[in-house]
C-alpha cells in the first residue's frame, strides 16, 4: 500500500522522504496555499511566499486566492 507523508514538509525534506522510501508521496498543504505555482517554484528553486496563518479559514479570498504567482 502507498504512504503519503505530510505536516511541515518542504522541498528538501519531501525529496528525502521519497528518496529514502519513507514515503511514496508528500503533501505540501500550507506551502501550496501560499504558492499557487508551488510545483514550478520547486522545479526552478524560486523563492516561496510566506503563508499568513492568521488569514486561514476566514471565509474570504484573503489567505486562499490572493497570494501572487512568481513573476
CA distance 50 to 38: 12
Residue of higher predicted confidence among 53 and 46? 46
**CA gyration radius for the chain?**
13
- Is 67 within a domain? no
- Residue 59: what pLDDT? 76
- Is 18 within a domain? yes
Contacts of 15 (CB under 8 A, 6+ apart): none
Residue whose grid cell is 518542504: 10
pLDDT digits (tens, 9 = 90+) for 27-44: 999 999 999 999 999 999
Least confident of 9-13, 23-27, 53-57: 53-57
- Residue 57: what pLDDT? 77
CA distance 39 to 29: 12
- Is 25 within a domain? yes
Q: Identify the domain containing residue 17 by its residue range.
A: 4-55
- Please tell me whether residue 25 adopts helix, strand or coil conformation: strand
pLDDT digits (tens, 9 = 90+) for 51-64: 998 888 777 778 77
Looking at the 3D structure of the chain, how many domains does it have? 1
Amino acid at each position: 500500500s502507498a504512504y503519503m507523508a505530510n505536516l511541515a514538509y518542504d522541498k528538501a525534506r519531501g525529496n528525502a522522504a521519497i528518496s529514502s522510501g519513507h514515503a511514496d508521496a508528500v503533501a505540501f498543504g500550507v506551502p501550496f496555499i501560499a504558492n499557487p505555482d508551488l510545483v514550478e517554484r520547486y522545479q526552478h528553486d524560486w523563492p516561496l511566499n510566506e503563508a499568513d496563518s492568521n488569514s486561514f479559514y476566514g471565509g474570504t479570498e484573503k489567505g486562499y486566492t490572493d497570494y501572487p504567482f512568481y513573476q
